[in-house]
Chains A and B, each alone.
Chain A
Amino acid sequence: MTGRPQTAARTDRPLEDFAAEIGTSDPVVVVGGRTQWGVGGEPDPTAREVHAPRGVVAHEPAEMIVRVRAGTTVAELDAVLAEGGQTIALDPAHPERATVGGVLAVGQSGPRRLGWGPVRDTLLEARFVSAEGRLIRAGGPVVKNVTGFDLCRLLVGSLGTIGLLAEIVLRVRPRPPVAVWLRGAADDPDRLRQALFRPSSILWDGIDCWVLLEGHPADVEAEIKAIGPGFDPVAEPPPLPSGGRWSMSPSAVRNVVATLEPGTFVAEVGVGIVHESTAPPSRRVQPATAALHQRIKANFDPTGRLNPGRMVT
């Protein structure tokens, strides 16, 4: 057992080149795989486009971490992790195009959030380019760290309005030996959640439930028994309706979807995300909280040159 990385670097260009490209003055917009381009609103069309560097720098299975450039696609990252028997549940809709940096900047977790936790908890270290064109490091390449303020959390979901991600270190996990999706009719999805210990995902469309069980084969078998009859293995989860991504307390899901036509939505049970076709109403942010947002943006990007047009609230 050694601490040497398993993978040799396969990267395209130094981080400093990305910083130089971003420069210090004019407005820039960073382009990933354009799979979530509309989130936060269209960026200013006159802003100069830049692309984050690509490549997996080092996967260290014995540390359960991977260092990867932000422009790398999620599919490429996962292929490298698979060689070391590990994975990460970023789970974007289009892994072959979505970039790791893009997934973190948008900050939406995939449908396995119930079992794997939110995407934001996977980010250990970020190297990003500031509005002044400087390369900044936040966090560190270890799995536990309270050295200084947690800029990593701030960057996840910030839509590139605070700094542009160049390279990141993520916490990865062993690939589960068995993973199986089951489907069956269910009018009470919460019953499944209570009956199972840490299922990876429970999706519900008002008629059927899809449950993802991952882990040791004997445990998965026992959990299948615990679910009871009427559930059969299926190849994959249902397609998620696009257009509306609603976020609510998990205990509010039942009441909210009662007003929707069964079969037209997919709810992430225990998480509180409901996918359907209409967009949710925009939410009001308290004045003191809104003022904090403005001060953060002003302190990190006083001239508003990073991803102009994108709004986080």
Chain B
Amino acid sequence: MAGVASGEAACNSARQTGGVTDALAAELSAAMAPDRVRSGPLELTLYRRDASLLEGQPGVVCFPSTTDEVQAAVTIARRHGRAVVPRGSGTGLAGGAVPVGVDGAEPVVIVTTKMDRVLEIDADARVAWVQPGVLNLDLSRQVAHLGLHFAPDPSSQQSCSVGGNVANNSGGPHCLAYGVTSAHVLALEVVLPDGSLALLGDLDPEPPGYDLRGAFVGSEGTMGIAVRIAVRLSPDPPAVRTVLVDFASIETAASTVTGIIAAGLVPAALEMMDARITSAVEDYVHAGFPRDAAAVLLVELDGLPAGVEAATQIVADVAAANGARGVRVAADEAERALLWKGRKSAFGAIARIAPDYYLHDTVVPRTRLVEVLSEVYEIAARHRLLVVNVFHAGDGNLHPLLVFDRREPGVMARVLAAGTDMIAACVAVGGVLSGEHGIGLEKRDHMGLIFSDDDLDAQRRLRLAFDPEQACNPHKVLPSGSGCGDLQSVPAGAWI
């Protein structure tokens, strides 16, 4: 991520003349109910950003409600030489849904929020077909009476869409044992960037051909728009234990994580919160989180009762061996829900510390957690910033949050510099750029840190098979370079 783009660029974001955009909006309005096409300046402002700090500029925003309307929107946009930008709920943190066009033409943003129906549930096969705008938590709620749920559970699950989950291959605390979104998607119906409709994957275990389903999941809106998604539903576990472990140091918490994995356990979830976030959360939910702990671990064990009891004991033993101050096992469902509420409202609780935050998402080998965490604190101190850590420790997925007040002069530059240093520290121990939030615009220019030009070229070949004209969510994920002309490294029109 960088500041305002410099230089005269091939793709500078000169505003379209009203007439051209009007003709486009009129055609889109004819293809779907006119009130589902928006091009007024004020309305467009709402769609300039997602939950990241980046901003772009849409040309027109539309809200199709059927597959036909999505196909029409894509076709019309392309006829007018516009790129299309798929968008779900806009909770993405890497700028994936931030609208950036090509050749100075602002893109058409296609929002899926009006496609919010669960279409079909097959409880026997444990599969549901859903529209992309269904909210993650709504899906689990709608199948709860069958003893089933949708396993990926991002902290944003009350507001993020299943389509967004698919595009970002999102994770959540319970993905440690059960896998990220990709493991829970069987098939996708996708409107390709040329407006045609393709089925990727199928409901049977071995559909013929390449795993196009797998290739599409995680493509961040650059390979088409998912309009129908077949998700795998998971059976609710018969037994669950949720354990809160309290530590006097970050190091002992981190070595407990390593110890739990090394003991041969795969907990359903294994989350860490440091001192600052633990007190902020406690102020917020009053769940009895220890305010004086240097760190806490929230560990969930699930499965059959005997295995769960045995695993809970192992967790307690490993924690004790690492010097934990206390182990609290949730006594009932209400206590369990309260502990999770604390974890999942961590980002909301940040507001009690400072008005703005910048959340990073990287993954490191789990055995390197201790050293990387101490480096994260050092980096923040070096840049005179406050950092809090609340993250998916079990799979080594760090989420350092830099908290700040953007009104403070010069603070943004320090935030960005600290972020870049943290990424470098993670890469240095064999880590990767993102575990669940994606690359989007945010980390696009860091891709060269872990991939060679040849590696990136291979990824580009896949993208070009789906989107030969690079018209679907252009400028995202892959740095510009071979195959993309001479675009500058940060597209104009996207800034923070």
Contact of A134 with B459 at beta-carbon distance under 8 Å, contacts A143-B396, A150-B218, A313-B209 already known: no
Contact in complex: B452, A121 (CB < 8 Å): no
Residues of B within 8 A of A268 (CB): 205
For residue A59, CB closer than 8 A to chain B, the reply is no
CB of A251 within 8 A of CB of B122, answer yes
A259 proximal to B (CB < 8 A):
no
Q: Quick check: A144 and B463 within 8 Å, CB to CB?
A: no
Shortest CB-to-CB span from A107 to chain B, Å, is 7
For residue A148, CB closer than 8 A to chain B, the reply is yes
Would you call A99 an interface residue if the criterion is a C-beta within 8 Å of the partner chain's C-beta atoms? no
Are the CB atoms of A218 and B461 closer together than 8 Å?
no
CB distance from A206 to the nearest CB of B (A): 19
Report whether B465 and A299 are in contact in the complex, using a CB–CB cutoff of 8 Å: yes
Q: Given that A146-B438, A156-B211 are contacting pairs, would A173 and B205 also be in contact in the complex, using a CB cutoff of 8 Å?
A: no
Contact residues in B for A113 (Cβ distance below 8 Å):
205
Chain B contacts for A142, CB-based, 8 A: 363-365, 395-396, 430-432, 435
B residues near A2, Cβ cutoff 8 Å: 367
CB distance from A299 to the nearest CB of B (A): 4
Q: Which of B168, B303, B452, B454 contacts A219 (CB 8 A)?
A: B303
**B125, B196, B215: the one within 8 Å of A150 (CB):** B215
Which chain B residues lie closer than 8 Å to A85 at the CB level?
Answer: 264
* Cα–Cα distance between A312 and B211 once the two chains are bound (Å): 10
What is the distance, in angstroms, from A88's C-beta to the closest C-beta of chain B? Answer: 13
- Bound state CA distance, A197 and B304, in angstroms? 7
User: Of A137, A217, A285, which is within 8 A of B455 by CB?
Assistant: A137
The answer for the CA separation of A217 and B463 in the assembled complex, in Å, is 48
A164 within 8 A of B: no
Contacts A151-B462, A153-B211, A289-B198 given; does A140 touch B238 at CB 8 Å: no
Asked whether B140 is an interface residue with its Cβ less than 8 Å from the other chain, the reply is no
Known: A149-B462, A222-B305, A312-B209. A288 touches B196 (CB 8 A): yes
Given A63-B367, A145-B432, also A300-B455 (CB < 8 A): no
Interface stretch, picked from B107-115, B179-187, B342-350, is B179-187
List the B side residues contacting A61 at CB < 8 Å.
Answer: 262
Q: Is the CB of A1 within 8 A of B259?
A: yes
Contact across chains for A296 and B430 when beta carbons are under 8 A apart? no
Say if the beta carbon of B84 comes within 8 Å of chain A.
no
Answer whether A312 and B208 are a contact pair too, CB < 8 Å, given A137-B455, A146-B436. yes
Q: Does chain A have a CB within 8 A of B458?
A: yes
* With known contacts A1-B259, A197-B235, A219-B306, A141–B365 Cβ distance under 8 A: yes
- Contact A285–B465 (Cβ < 8 Å): no
A-B contact pairs, 23 of them (CB 8 A): A1-B258, A117-B183, A134-B454, A143-B396, A145-B432, A146-B437, A148-B459, A149-B463, A150-B169, A150-B214, A174-B266, A197-B303, A197-B304, A216-B304, A249-B122, A285-B208, A288-B197, A293-B210, A295-B464, A295-B465, A299-B465, A312-B208, A312-B210
Interface residues of A (CB under 8 A from B): 1-3, 60-64, 85-86, 107-109, 113, 117-118, 120-121, 130, 134-138, 140-154, 156-158, 162-163, 173-174, 190, 197-198, 215-219, 222-223, 245, 247-252, 268, 271-273, 282-283, 285-286, 288-289, 292-293, 295-296, 298-300, 312-313
Q: What 9 pairs across the A-B complex have the smallest Cβ distances?
A: A153-B214, A218-B306, A3-B367, A216-B307, A219-B304, A174-B264, A247-B206, A288-B198, A295-B465
